[in-house]
């Protein structure tokens, strides 16, 4: 039996549409409980989103075994997908990533425990 205790840290970036700012902020004060439950199920933890002007930065920790696979499976759950569609509609692409209408994954270049 494999015991996996490591934590992966993910950073991601996107921009927020000015006209959707209030909607996005309000919804992130009361994220649908079903969405939070699914995130916890796949072992996403310590998830923060930060905003400056129209730039957003997300940070999360993942303690599962296959992040991409878990995220993909989670998006197939209809209420999660419904939430995601609403949120993606709030986004402007990150500079130079116009083909990606959602979060752009970043590279972790430093870590201090």
Can you give the binding site for its own copies, defined by CB under 8 A? Answer: 9, 11, 13, 25, 28, 31, 36, 39-40, 44-53, 55-57, 59, 94-96, 104-113
Question: Which among 85, 92, 101, 90 is positioned nearest to 35, based on CA atoms?
Answer: 85
Residues 105, 110, 112, 113, Cα dihedral to 10° = 30
Residue 83 region, left (φ>0) first, then alpha (ψ -120 to 50), else beta?
Answer: alpha
CB of 96 to its own copies, least distance (A): 6
Q: Which is nearer to its own copies, 25 or 85 (CB)?
A: 25
Q: Which is nearer to its own copies, 86 or 106 (CB)?
A: 106
Q: Which is nearer to its own copies, 2 or 33 (CB)?
A: 33
């Amino acid at each position: 039996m494999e015991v996996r205790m490591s934590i992966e840290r993910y950073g991601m970036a996107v921009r927020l549409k000015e006209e959707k700012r209030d909607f996005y902020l309000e919804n992130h004060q009361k994220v649908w409980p079903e969405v939070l439950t699914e995130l916890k199920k796949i072992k996403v933890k310590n998830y923060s989103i930060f905003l400056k002007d129209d730039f957003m930065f997300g940070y999360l920790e993942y303690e599962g075994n296959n992040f991409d696979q878990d995220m993909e499976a989670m998006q197939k759950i209809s209420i999660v997908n419904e939430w995601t569609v609403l949120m993606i509609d709030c986004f402007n692409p990150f500079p130079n990533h116009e083909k990606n209408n959602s979060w752009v994954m970043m590279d972790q270049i430093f870590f201090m425990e």
